[in-house]
Amino acid sequence: MPAAPAFNRFANWPTGPARALLALVCLLLVLAALTPLTAGEGVAKPPSLSAVVQKAAPAKAVATRDEDLKLYDEVIARLRHGEHYYAIIAEEHRLHRYPLHPGFAVRLPTLAVIEAALPEASLIPLSVLLMGAVLLAWWRRLGEEPGGERLRLFAFAALFVGVSIGTTRYFFVLHELWAGQLLALSFGLHRPGQEAGREGRWIGAWLAAALALAIREHALPFVLLMGAFALWHRRWREGAAWIALALAFVIAMAVHLDIVAGMVRPDDPASASWLTLRGLNGWLSLVVLSSNLRWLPGVVAGPLVIMAVLGWAGWRSAAGAFGTLLYLGYGAAFMVAGRPDNFYWGMMVAPALLIGLAFAPMAARGLAAAAFPVHRPALT
């Protein structure tokens, strides 16, 4: 039996834990294939997404503008006419029947201000440029990680499928679209030190994550995980930088929430709870319906998410360790939080998630071999 690659995390696992994990993966694959992918009732999507959610014929699907997107369209249009974000956001929320409290229902002004300042025609080339930066960053990182160079072409192709969602013009006003691309860029740019206590290259990753966090607060878990990894490996300067970023964000968010709180009137309705306890349906729906996996039947797309995470878990590298915790963490969060009409939250993690598919066959083989080792008789 050929030796397993050194970058296969499961190759030398004890039999008991390997069998338990293999059984769990098989169970999740079956459940993922049977789990329906759902979005909110009456939530309009692009044609391809309508075909998945509503099972409508592609020729009959109508690209009705989602209410969330209409709200951001109007805000950006008014900013381009010289109005101030906080002077108009409460009015627009009421016009579109959106809540103002809690204050997290109101987006940070960063993306709207940036898009209002830029010519509308510049957003497509900007999205292509950002996609190219993500692809280049990961092409380089894959060549430097154990096993990455061996599977780089497959991982690059999977990444392209994931990151190309960022060039979908329909979604340009969505905060999660740009924040998710920036987090994928940050992940690709990050170079941890090869030894504990040795600083790597992280400033570019820090800047990309800072912009993502300024756009959407859902980037905070990524920042906190980066900080935790840096401190765990005794990279004190880097860890301090990530902690400082998180603290700066908390201050900025507190200011934002205070401003929004001052706009709320007694008759303004409160937002419905984001705690929905949707389980596997929540995780898979948010990831699949906000990514290019939406083109596939749910019976295929759901299991691909599970296999992608398995690939990250089986890749024995710094990127594999971070990616495993990152995608499992967001997956757990999506199981308990996020209403069906928040389908686009999945864009925070979908762009780079599919890289794991390149490592999934290797991970599956290693896990199966560890679970059921072949004992050859000794030659005499």
- State the DSSP string of 24-82: HHHHHHHHHHHSPP---TT----HHHHHHHH---GGG---PPPHHHHHHHHHHHHHHTT
C-alpha span between 302 and 282 (Å, rounded): 11
pLDDT tier for residue 308 given thresholds of 50, 70 and 90: very high
Say what the pLDDT of residue 340 is.
85
Say what the pLDDT of residue 40 is.
59
* CA-wise closest residue to 187 among 175, 204, 168: 204
- The string of pLDDT tens digits covering residues 241-260 is 999 999 999 999 999 999 99
Say what the pLDDT of residue 83 is.
94
DSSP 109: S
Say what the pLDDT of residue 6 is.
81
Stretch 183-201: mean pLDDT, rounded? 84
What percent of the chain is predicted at pLDDT more than 90? 79
Residue 294 has pLDDT above 50, yes or no: yes
Q: Which residues contact 225 (CB under 8 A, 6 or more apart)?
A: 322, 325, 326, 329
Say what the pLDDT of residue 375 is.
62
The two three-digit tokens of residue 192, written as one number: 């941890």
C-alpha span between 345 and 342 (Å, rounded): 6
Residue 174 has pLDDT above 90, yes or no: yes
Mean pLDDT, the chain, integer:
89
Write down the domain spans for the chain: 29-370
- Cα separation values, 307 from 165, 180, 220, 282, 314, Å: 20, 20, 25, 17, 10
Say what the pLDDT of residue 195 is.
61
C-alpha span between 188 and 132 (Å, rounded): 12
Residue 11 has pLDDT above 60, yes or no: yes
- The string of pLDDT tens digits covering residues 137-170 is 999 999 999 888 889 999 999 999 999 999 999 9
Say what the pLDDT of residue 166 is.
95
C-alpha span between 187 and 226 (Å, rounded): 9
Say what the pLDDT of residue 207 is.
98
Q: Do the beta carbons of residue 185 and residue 133 sit within 8 Å?
A: yes
- The string of pLDDT tens digits covering residues 52-85 is 333 333 333 334 677 889 999 999 999 999 999 9
Say what the pLDDT of residue 50 is.
41
Say what the pLDDT of residue 36 is.
93
**Number of Cβ within a 10 Å radius of residue 313:** 24
Count Cα neighbours of 195 within 13 Å in the Cβ-side half-sphere. Answer: 1
